[in-house]
Each structure stands twice: as structure tokens, then as C-alpha cells.
Amino acid sequence: MFSKALVVAVACLATLTLNAGSSERSVVQILTFSQAPIFDAPWRSESVRRAGGSGFVIKGRRIMTNAHVIAWAKQILVRRYQDPRPYQARVAYVGHDCDLAILEVEDPAFFDGIEPLDFGELPTVRSTVVTCGYPAGGEQISFTRGVVSRIEVQNYVHPGNRSLLAVQTDAAINPGNSGGPVLQEDKVVGVAFQGVPGLENAGFFIPPEVIHHFLNDVNDGKYDGFPQAGISLVPLQNPAYRRYLGLADEGVGARVDGLRAGSTAEKLLKKDDVLLEAGGLPVGSDGTVLYQDNRVSSSIIFQAPQSGESVKLKVWRDKQSVEIDLPVAFFEGDKLAGNQHDTPPRYFLHGGLVFTPLSADYLRTLGRERADASSSALYYELYYRRGEQPEKVRPEPVALATILAHPVNANLRVRGRALVDKINGVRIDRLEDVPRALEQNPSGPHVIEFFGQSGFECLDREASAAATAQILQTYGISSDRRL
């Protein structure tokens, strides 16, 4: 199965030295029938898409796989090793930020005779690993041996705006292996999840650290997600800057350059604080820590606790060392700037005007046209406003996604792709404000104001209300809203 732009797979090995006698029976094939929504026509969905992925049985009679394997799934079928029967499965837990999911199978007999796989430790660089799964190119299980090339924090393509620890291997890449286990001495040391187009012999798997974090997270019956510190940590390698802060040039300490508005870090830390240690590990002047012999971004230290827990920090402030317990939590504020999953897009339709929350998925429907003033305003609002003008951030900016043609709206010049500022004088902070603002107007036309160069438009109050039902019927839309 393909992740958005990246591909995961494993190629067959003719001569396989791994004793996979028991492991292969724990590896399952997953067939997903999914239907993603159309974000600029949010009541509609794309055609049903069939895709294959892989998974493996873990303790508790459950299957682990990638979140992107089962995203937007309408039906999930799983197949055992060399067993032709498909079994119905359902999602028990999904962590889209770490691209992991746990499935349950409706028929408990599915697990008969299958031993769950155990997890191992983070493999060392240059050690050999074997990935298994059901990549395209055949129906049977496939194995690929590779070397651990490097271990780093990488962008996880499935969420789009999250970076976690990942392991790179030189395994060949074919579609369909996503969610399959990466084994070392019969223990799972990773879950294959993505590759990079154009980069040869580079596949990536999710390491045990991330897998265990996900499993521990769901222990309480719900998934919270990986925490974020809200700290912009930058290298501190300029000699003058180090001298100014009273630090010797010993390669230790990275500088706090910015703090996310409203975060706990903003209250406990200051700009120009220097992070000397995080979670007991020295922080290098390039912002990395030495974790199990791998130089990786210190962000992994802030992602290690569960949401709501704390990280112990040693900070250099005013030429003195201070210790701080920094609580970290999952951050939801940039959710719309990442890829959306499983929850159909919200919308509200009135008089043919379709309002929907501004999201990265909606912006993708605009193609590459970001240069004109209206589109530019949308991009700025989603990706830059929070960092530059946090005081003006709207919890859920609303876009006029499109207009369904009808005589009541035929004279409107704006036909979509516009960011809504106010309706009837009411500031639109979230989608629910749209119906509220329309309902609050006792008389006269509805006045809709936009950002950028889009000006404003008026809509006849009575006529637009009357037209909505007809528009729903004409365009085959079952409801005027999904809030």
C-alpha cells in the first residue's frame, strides 16, 4: 500500500538466512477498502479504493499495522499466512501522528495457532534486519534483508507535520509492505512505513521507542498522541553568541530561540535559555543528543513521556545552571495544517455557499495556484499566522470552499477559495459561527466579508434560506451541514 507520496515495500530475497519459520505465520496481509473525502466538496467522497498492506500479530490477540494502511477504511479484511480465508477486522486504536494502528479481528478463531511477535530493542546501525510483508508483485509473503543505514528523526509523511524517530534501511522498496514487521533475531524492531521517491535503497521503519510509546498510550483505553514541547531550539555554535551567554565552546548546549505562544514552555523557559541537558542526556550545541550511539534531534526527549508528563531539563540561564521540570502535552493547534484522517470534513451549506474549515487537505484541492491574493491569504492563515501573529489566530479559520450555482447566488463574484472574516458583523472563529451568524440576522441581506482582495458579498436572506433545500436536492446532498 502506498502512503501519500511515499512507498513502503520489501523485495524478495532468494536466499534468506533468517529462520522465519514461526515469524511468518504472525505476519498478516491486510486488504483495505477505503474512501477518502473530497475536501472542496466535503459531502462527497472519492471512489472506493482497494489497497493492500501488511501487519503482524501482537500480544492480546491484536494486529499492529500502519495508520495509513487503514485510514479512511470502509472495510478491512485480514488474511493469515497461507490461509485463503479473509477475516473482517476493525480499528481498535489509531495513532495518526506516529502512523501506527491496532486492529481487532471479529472472529477470534483468526488467532488460533498464531504466536504473537515480541518486540526487541532499537537495532544498531550496520546491523542486519529483515522486513516481511505482502508487497505488490505477488500474493505470497515476501522477505527482504537490509542493513540499518542510519537512525534519525524524520518527517512522518502520513500526518505530514510531525517528525519522530525513524530508522533507515537499504531494503528495496515496493508498494504493499506498509505495516509489516522488521525483524531481528525473531523480534520486532520496527514497523516498515515509508520510503522516499527518488532515493534509492532507502526504506524507513518505525522503531521500538515509538511503538512502545503508542502501546503505552492506549493502555488507558484512548490514544492521546505524542507530546510536543513548544520550544524552538536552535544550534548554539557561534563563538560570539556562546561568549555572550557565558558558555565555553565545548559543544554542549542549544539555544531556545522561540517559544510557542500559550505553551507551558512559554511560562517556564525564556528566550536565550540554553538547554544543557534534557531527560538526563547532554544536549549538543547542534541541538542533538547521543541516544544509543546515535546523534539524533533532542526532540525525541520531549516526545518520550506520555502527554501530561514532564521532562527534566538542565538550563543555562543568566550564566547559571537551573533545573526545570517541563510538562509536555500533545498539541492540537496545528492539526488542520497536517493531513486529516478518518473524520469527514465539516461543512455548512447555505444558499449554495459551502463553508468548510481551512485545512491542508482543502488547500491541496487548489493545486499549485497559491500566487493570487485570495489563495495567498489562505496559505498565510494556515501556515504562518500562528507563528507571526498568535494573538490573531482563529481556532478554526473558515473558507468559502465553493459555490453551488443557483439563481440566488449567481451574481456573486466570489466563487470560492476565499477566507471568511465576518458574517453579518460576527467574526468567524470556527465553522459553528457561520450558522450562528446567519441565524442572528433578523432582517436585511446576509453580509459576508472576506480576507485579502475578495471584498464582501451580500446574499438575500429569505431567498437564500428558501433555496438551500432546493440546492441540496439538485446536487444530491443529504444534509446542509456536518458540524
Partner 1 sequence: MNVLHRLLLSLAAGLACMVSVEAAESRSWESSLVTLEVTLKEYDFFQPWTTPTRSIRKHGLVIGDREVLTTAQNLPTETLVRLQKGGRGKWYKAQVVWLDPHADLALVTSEDPTFWEGLKPAELAEVVPSVPDFNLVRWRDGNLESRRVEFSKFTVKDGTLSFAPRLTLEVNTELTGLGWAEPVALEGKVAGLTTSKLGSTCNVVPAPFIRRILEARRAGKYRGLGYFDFTWQPGENPTSLKFLKLDGTERGAIVIKVPQRPGVQSVLRPRDILLEVDGFPIDVEGDYVDPDYGHLLLENLSSRSKFAGETVPLKIWRDGAELTVNYTLPEAKYHDELVPREVFEHPPEYVVAGGLVFQQLEQPFLRGWGEDWRRRAPFRLQHYQNDQPTPERPSLVMLSSVLPDPANVGYQDVRLLIVDQINDRKVGTLEDVVAALKEPKDGVHRVQFMKGDTLQTILMDAASLEAATQRVLQRYSLPADKRLGPVATGKS
Which residue of 126, 222, 392, 413 would you call a contact of partner 1, by CB under 8 A? 413
Which residue of 13, 234, 324, 465 would you call a contact of partner 1, by CB under 8 A? 234
Largest CA distance in the chain: 79
Which residue of 24, 224, 396, 460 would you call a contact of partner 1, by CB under 8 A? 460
Catalytic residue, chosen from 23, 142, 178, 263, is: 178
DSSP 70-136: HTTEEEEEEE-TT---EEEEEEEEEETTTTEEEEEESSGGGGTT-PPPPB-PPPPTT-EEEEEE--T
As a dihedral over the C-alpha atoms of residue 84, residue 90, residue 92, residue 98, rounded to 10 degrees, the angle is 80
Tell which residue, 322, 323, 319, 324, has the closest CA to residue 248.
319
Tell me the C-alpha to C-alpha distance, in Å, between residue 250 and each of 45, 64, 291: 56, 44, 19
Is residue 445 near partner 1 by the rule CB under 8 A? yes
Q: What are phi and psi of 41, to 5 degrees?
A: -140, 70
Q: Is 178 marked active-site?
A: yes
CB 176 within 8 A of CB 135: yes
**Element (H or E) spanning 471, and its range?**
helix 461-474
- Closer to partner 1 by CB, 145 or 260: give it: 260
Residues β-bridged to residue 278: 281, 313
Q: Sign of dihedral through CA atoms 120, 125, 130, 131?
A: positive
Q: Which stretch binds partner 1 (CB under 8 A): 153-161, 206-214, 342-350, 409-417?
A: 409-417
Count of residues making up the chain? 483
Is residue 272 near partner 1 by the rule CB under 8 A? yes
Is residue 365 near partner 1 by the rule CB under 8 A? no
Q: Is 99 marked active-site?
A: yes
Q: Which of residues 26-65 bind partner 1 (CB under 8 A)?
A: none
Least distance (Å) from partner 1 to the CB of residue 197?
20
Amino acid at 454: S
Q: Is 68 marked active-site?
A: yes
Number of residues that bind partner 1 (CB under 8 A): 43
Is residue 475 near partner 1 by the rule CB under 8 A? no
Which residue of 86, 116, 235, 279 would you call a contact of partner 1, by CB under 8 A? 235
Is residue 330 near partner 1 by the rule CB under 8 A? no
Is residue 415 near partner 1 by the rule CB under 8 A? no
Residue 387: left if φ>0, alpha if ψ -120 to 50, beta else—which one?
Answer: alpha
Is residue 137 near partner 1 by the rule CB under 8 A? no
400/360 Cα distance (integer angstroms): 15
Catalytic residue, chosen from 23, 68, 299, 421, is: 68
Which residue of 48, 290, 455, 462 would you call a contact of partner 1, by CB under 8 A? 455
Which residue of 458, 466, 469, 483 would you call a contact of partner 1, by CB under 8 A? 458
Q: Which of residues 374-393 bind partner 1 (CB under 8 A)?
A: 376-377, 379-380, 383-384, 386-389
Which residue of 243, 267, 364, 427 would you call a contact of partner 1, by CB under 8 A? 243
Tell which residue, 463, 460, 436, has the closest CA to residue 447.
460
Catalytic residue, chosen from 26, 54, 97, 99, is: 99
Which residue of 240, 320, 392, 442 would you call a contact of partner 1, by CB under 8 A? 240
The residues that touch partner 1, with contacts defined as CB under 8 A, are 232, 234-241, 243-244, 257-258, 271-272, 368, 370-371, 373, 376-377, 379-380, 383-384, 386-389, 411-413, 444-445, 447, 452-453, 455-460
| Active site positions, annotated | 68, 99, 178
